Chains A and B, each alone.
Chain A
Amino acid sequence: MIYRESGQFKKTYEADQAILPLRTDQIFMVGVLLVAFLVIPMVASNYVMNALLLPFLIYALAAIGLNLLVGYCGQISLGTGGFMAVGAFAAWNLATRTELPMPVIFLLAGLITAGTGVLFGLPALRIKGFYLAVTTLAAQFFLIWLLQRPWFNNYSPTGVISAPTVDMFGWTVDSVTDRYYLALIILVIMALIAKNIVRSSTGRKWMAIRDMDVAAEIIGIRPMATKLKAFAVSSFFIGIAGVLWGFLYLGQLEAEAFNIYVSFDVLFMIIIGGLGSILGSIIGAAFVVLVPIFLNVVPSAIGLPLGTAMISYVEIFIFGVLIIFFLIVEPHGIARLWSIVKQKLRLWPFPY
């Protein structure tokens, strides 16, 4: 393994501020994208795409959104599920009640969610920490209740409605491969946007608020505007994730599918993957999607098959323990462990 920065001199600040300053990282990233776009669709079965890859991609998007708020701006939120529901239902209602093209619907659904996020972020002016956690819980319960009102599902007798087929730029997103591609493209674009935001002045303001809000205000950062911006951007991401969850993954919508435990799942992803890391959000999503599979496969393989119920109990327990473990050992999660490995590789075979 050759992972070196020696010989790569940056001659401009621009090169130094690039997202991936090291050539090895650039090559690696290109490789990952090639695999994601070309290899996986060829080798993965429909089941794997539907049950693993789609939820992973969509969860990763939601996790990036939440991480912008929690990991970068330091404002905790337990309302992710509720905001995803807002995105999904906004898109569904726009699609049913208007003739707008799909990309516009996606965008509007994201903006509506952003507005909702700002509304519930308003208390962040006066309160912080656990108080904010409780306010966002209120958002979660209130939004789910609100979206169960008959108007939002167009008076469907069962309360369950089916999502329309996504049609954009002349591409009918129907087969599972199509849906995989759409989710992947949106994730890649939005991850890039998130990365741009966090390395810009906006991102630095968020981190300043996170690290010491009083000092941030004294150097001229407006706390309210900055926090609300974080709520808006975060909710936008989460709203789009909600649209994808309803339209591409579930195929049908009901508000209860976005309950409080969805919020917790996404929170787990960013804690395990790494608070304050875009890459970490993606790794965390993969981890949370894989653990149940792992629990299904491994115990049977070693001759100790677990019942379905038992698997879910063990899963709850393991996630609880992992959260504690990562918060104690490495609050920056798997992403930090990864960068430590890279740091070591950079010097390998010398210890220092």
Chain B
Amino acid sequence: MMFFFEVLIGGLMSGIMYALVALGFVLIFKASGVFNFAQAAMVLFAAMFMAGMYGDWGVPYWLAIPITILLMIGLAWVIERFVLRHLVNQEPIIMFMATIGIFFAIIGFAEIIWGSRSRTLDVGLPDDMLFIGDMLFQQYDIVTALMVAVLVVLLMIFAQKTRMGRVLRAVADDHQAAQSVGIKLSTVWVVVWSVAGVVAVVAGIVWGGSLGVQPVMVDVAFKALPVLLLGGLTSIHGAIIAGLIIGAGEALAEVYLGPIIGGGIDNWFAYIIAMAFMVWRPEGLFGEKIIERI
């Protein structure tokens, strides 16, 4: 039983990582209807810059992190200026493929600067063991979970309470209507991609801290996608809950199901959970129902 809980908790922790990436997707989809395949590349980009600046140039983390955040804002601006602006009103499938282009452009760019070798990223989060009752926890996991909780609360406050948040929701509902009441689409997009960039920085710190920074990190994108579908494309708390479900589910499946049907099933198990669920409810756990019109 003890073992079960340890596996479960380990799974929930990786679930939080998936959720962090999925969160970036949700923000951008909510505000612009763009399915941003490049979110995971943004995580990698942020992590590589933080680790690279510290490792190669000796920039301390308290400085490297704000610089990276500025960089992500710059990236958001570049993406808006050179990509999104030219694709307004295009079909979603074209937008989606464009973000695949962004995905590769960002990764290529980061690699040109930093190469592809593995780096460590340790911003000084505590990582001692901690016993609560009989159970063994990593302090790192607990701190991470708290950081994510704070981030989610902040994002929700931003979306619900601030003026910008309301504007974002208006744009998500209808691009043209929002423009006609004087909301500038380009500003909105830069803001929302910047926010997603900041989420990517947090994800980069957490993810890179536990697994090291290297290009295969983007494979987490392939885990975040099912999380996204399970949670619903537009729901922030949906992304978190779905992340936890999928993280726990795949960890348990690998341990208990893996020996029966062969190892390595965590590559696709998340997809099976998400797809099985979508057959029943295509819009996901908390997504908005899609209504077809003509």
Q: Could you tell me which A residues sit within 8 Å of B by CB distance?
A: 74, 76, 123, 126-127, 129-131, 133-135, 137-138, 141-142, 144-145, 148-149, 214-215, 218, 260, 264, 267, 271, 309-310, 313-324, 327-328, 331
- Alpha-carbon distance A218/B83, docked complex (angstroms): 35
B96 touches A133 (CB 8 A): yes
Shortest Cβ gap from B107 to chain A (Å): 6
Q: Which of the segments B133-141, B154-162, B264-272 contacts the partner chain?
A: B264-272
A314 touches B265 (CB 8 A): no
- Alpha-carbon distance A134/B37, docked complex (angstroms): 11
B108 touches A318 (CB 8 A): yes
B97 touches A314 (CB 8 A): no
A319 touches B104 (CB 8 A): yes
CB-CB under 8 A for A320 and B102, given A123-B275, A141-B268, A215-B294:
yes
B102 touches A313 (CB 8 A): no
B275 touches A76 (CB 8 A): no
- Alpha-carbon distance A137/B272, docked complex (angstroms): 11
Contacts of A218 in B (CB 8 A): 294
Name 9 A/B residue pairs within 8 A (Cβ), A-sorted.
A141-B267, A142-B268, A260-B222, A313-B112, A314-B108, A316-B111, A320-B105, A321-B101, A327-B97
A317 touches B105 (CB 8 A): yes
B177 an interface residue at 8 Å Cβ cutoff?
no
B112 touches A317 (CB 8 A): yes
CB-CB under 8 A for A317 and B268, given A131-B282, A135-B275, A149-B262:
no
Contacts of A126 in B (CB 8 A): 278-279, 282
Contacts of B66 in A (CB 8 A): none
Shortest Cβ gap from A162 to chain B (Å): 23
- Alpha-carbon distance A214/B292, docked complex (angstroms): 9
Contacts of B278 in A (CB 8 A): 123, 126-127, 131
Using an 8 Å CB-CB cutoff, how does the interface string of B91-119 with A read, 1 for contact, 0 for none? 01110111011111111110110011000
- Alpha-carbon distance A327/B225, docked complex (angstroms): 23
Shortest Cβ gap from B191 to chain A (Å): 21
Contacts of A331 in B (CB 8 A): 94
- Alpha-carbon distance A310/B275, docked complex (angstroms): 39
Beyond A316-B104, A323-B97: 5 further Cβ-contacts under 8 Å? A134-B226, A144-B267, A148-B262, A310-B112, A324-B83
B271 is contacted by which of A134, A260, A309, A318 (Cβ under 8 Å)? A134
Contacts of A322 in B (CB 8 A): 101
Contacts of A133 in B (CB 8 A): 35, 96
Contacts of B90 in A (CB 8 A): 327
B83 touches A148 (CB 8 A): no
Contacts of B229 in A (CB 8 A): 131, 134
B108 touches A317 (CB 8 A): yes
CB-CB under 8 A for A309 and B115, given A214-B292, A320-B104, A324-B102:
yes
B93 touches A138 (CB 8 A): no
B101 touches A323 (CB 8 A): yes
A320 touches B107 (CB 8 A): yes
Contacts of B225 in A (CB 8 A): 134, 137
B35 is contacted by which of A123, A130, A215, A264 (Cβ under 8 Å)? A130
B87 an interface residue at 8 Å Cβ cutoff?
yes
A129 touches B107 (CB 8 A): no
Contacts of A76 in B (CB 8 A): 93, 96-97
Contacts of B294 in A (CB 8 A): 214-215, 218
A74 touches B112 (CB 8 A): no
Shortest Cβ gap from A246 to chain B (Å): 21
Closest chain A residue to B101, Cβ basis: A323
B282 touches A314 (CB 8 A): no
Contacts of B104 in A (CB 8 A): 264, 316-317, 319-320, 323
B262 touches A142 (CB 8 A): no
- Alpha-carbon distance A138/B229, docked complex (angstroms): 12
B163 an interface residue at 8 Å Cβ cutoff?
no
Shortest Cβ gap from A173 to chain B (Å): 34
- Alpha-carbon distance A260/B282, docked complex (angstroms): 25
- Alpha-carbon distance A319/B226, docked complex (angstroms): 26
B92 touches A142 (CB 8 A): no
A327 touches B101 (CB 8 A): yes
B289 an interface residue at 8 Å Cβ cutoff?
no
Closest chain A residue to B264, Cβ basis: A145
A130 touches B96 (CB 8 A): yes
Contacts of A317 in B (CB 8 A): 104-105, 107-109, 111-112
- Alpha-carbon distance A260/B278, docked complex (angstroms): 23
B53 an interface residue at 8 Å Cβ cutoff?
no
- Alpha-carbon distance A271/B99, docked complex (angstroms): 13
Closest chain B residue to A307, Cβ basis: B115
Shortest Cβ gap from B113 to chain A (Å): 9
Residues of B58-86 at the interface with A, using a CB-CB cut-off of 8 Å, are 82-83, 86
- Alpha-carbon distance A320/B268, docked complex (angstroms): 26
B274 an interface residue at 8 Å Cβ cutoff?
yes
Contacts of B107 in A (CB 8 A): 316-317, 320
Using an 8 Å CB-CB cutoff, how does the interface string of B218-262 with A read, 1 for contact, 0 for none? 000010011011000100000000000000000000000000001
Shortest Cβ gap from B78 to chain A (Å): 11
- Alpha-carbon distance A145/B101, docked complex (angstroms): 26
Closest chain B residue to A133, Cβ basis: B96
Contacts of B233 in A (CB 8 A): 130
CB-CB under 8 A for A316 and B262, given A134-B274, A141-B267, A214-B294:
no
Residues of B19-59 at the interface with A, using a CB-CB cut-off of 8 Å, are 35
Closest chain A residue to B34, Cβ basis: A130
A137 touches B103 (CB 8 A): no
- Alpha-carbon distance A318/B264, docked complex (angstroms): 33
Residues of B134-186 at the interface with A, using a CB-CB cut-off of 8 Å, are none
A313 touches B116 (CB 8 A): yes
- Alpha-carbon distance A201/B294, docked complex (angstroms): 24
B101 touches A324 (CB 8 A): yes
B98 is contacted by which of A144, A260, A318, A327 (Cβ under 8 Å)? A327
- Alpha-carbon distance A131/B109, docked complex (angstroms): 28
Shortest Cβ gap from A221 to chain B (Å): 15
